[in-house]
Structure 1
Amino acid sequence: MSSWGKYKPNESGKNSWSQEEAFEKLTTFCAYQDRCPWEVRRKLHDKGIKDEPAEQIITELIAEEFVNEERYARAFARGKFRLKKWGRNRIRMELKMREIPESLIRKGLSEIDPEEYYDTLLTQTEKKWESTHESDSFKKKYKVTQYLMSKGFEMDLVKEAVESLQSQ
């Protein structure tokens, strides 16, 4: 019999876990990839564990270093910047949504090298400029600027990058 056979559906129709099962499953969940308490809380909620029992499990995961908000913020910032080419504003917004404290958000953002950040912004600007088919240069500049802003880059840096491209 598979290990899934012992789970009972909760009110949302999903399988629920006992507290012991939850802790075991979540150690694997957190070891696979850094997680924050917010993500763990959501996972627990999906499995029918809420309030005090959920907080007890999260406290235990933190005590055993399976969950570490600073490590999470640093890894999140590095990963989203390098892989998804997100800017600082987008990363900050996403971390705030995950209830990461501002002090840890700043530590996470400190993982991004300013030179690499600006080089990435220039590369993204050039790529978007080339792929934007717009004859009106004002509209093209607007579209490229909006795209870069949506990726989370700061307006002053975006403006500088777009202007450096136009002056070439």
Structure 2
Amino acid sequence: MEYYCSYQERCYKEVEEKLYTFSLTSAEKEEILTYLIENNFINEERFAQSFVRGKHNYKFWGKNRIINELKFRNISSRLISIALKEISEETYLENFHQLAEKHWNSITERKGQKKNKKFVDFLLRKGYETHLIYEKLHELDN
């Protein structure tokens, strides 16, 4: 389990789910989890920060999707707030604009509602805020 936690950041929930695949007693699982936390193999804050950086910088996810994914992994709101500080507002907006323009140009439909819907739906799935999406749509559609 040390190796499992050391080659990639893991949250408590992921490690707990991995332990359930082994035939261990509850006491043994708890002992292993306690050991991993005490020896800093599991660190929720470090996991959340790494998750935020990775998902935004490589998958270009927006804050809404990142927050939802972290909540799904039982990361506290306090740690999510701390982790989101890993993305500067400047970088966030720069990545959003690049992604939006690239996607707008890749949509084969000509101007119209169908193109606009594809554009908006894509960016909503990526987790960007609606006000950013509609401002960008207005800018590109004119």
Is TM-score (shorter-chain normalized) higher than 0.5? yes
* Aligned with residue 99 of structure 1, among 74, 87, 102: 74
CA contact (8 A) 1:78 1:111 kept: yes
> Once the 2 structures are TM-superposed, how far is the Cα of residue 28 of structure 1 from its aligned partner?
0.8
Matching residue of 2:43:
68
SS state of the match for residue 87, structure 2? coil
2:103 equivalent to 1:122: no
Output the CA distance in 2 between the equivalents of 1:102 and 1:59: 22
Output the CA distance in 2 between the equivalents of 1:59 and 1:42: 15
Number of corresponding residues: 142
SS state of the match for residue 127, structure 2? coil
Give the 5 Å matches for 1:138-157: 138-157=113-132
Matching residue of 1:52:
27
Matching residue of 1:112:
87
In the superposition, the TM-score normalised over structure 2's length comes to 0.94
Matching residue of 1:37:
12
SS state of the match for residue 93, structure 1? helix
Matching residue of 1:12:
none
Matching residue of 1:20:
none
CA contact (8 A) 1:74 1:108 kept: yes
> Once the 2 structures are TM-superposed, how far is the Cα of residue 121 of structure 1 from its aligned partner?
0.8
Matching residue of 1:15:
none
Q: 1:153 to 1:50 in 2, by over 3 A?
A: farther
SS state of the match for residue 49, structure 1? coil
In the superposition, the TM-score normalised over structure 1's length comes to 0.80
CA contact (8 A) 1:121 1:161 kept: no
> Once the 2 structures are TM-superposed, how far is the Cα of residue 32 of structure 1 from its aligned partner?
0.7
> Once the 2 structures are TM-superposed, how far is the Cα of residue 48 of structure 1 from its aligned partner?
2.4
- Deviations along 1:41-64, whole A, 9 cap, x unmatched? 011011223633222211110100
Output the CA distance in 2 between the equivalents of 1:49 and 1:136: 59
CA contact (8 A) 1:44 1:50 kept: no
> Once the 2 structures are TM-superposed, how far is the Cα of residue 133 of structure 1 from its aligned partner?
1.3
Segment of structure 1 superposing worse, 88-97 or 130-139: 130-139
Higher relative contact order (CA 8 A, sep 6+): 2
Structure 1 runs (4+) deviating above 2 angstroms are 48-53, 164-167
Any unmatched runs of 5+ in structure 1? Answer: 1-25
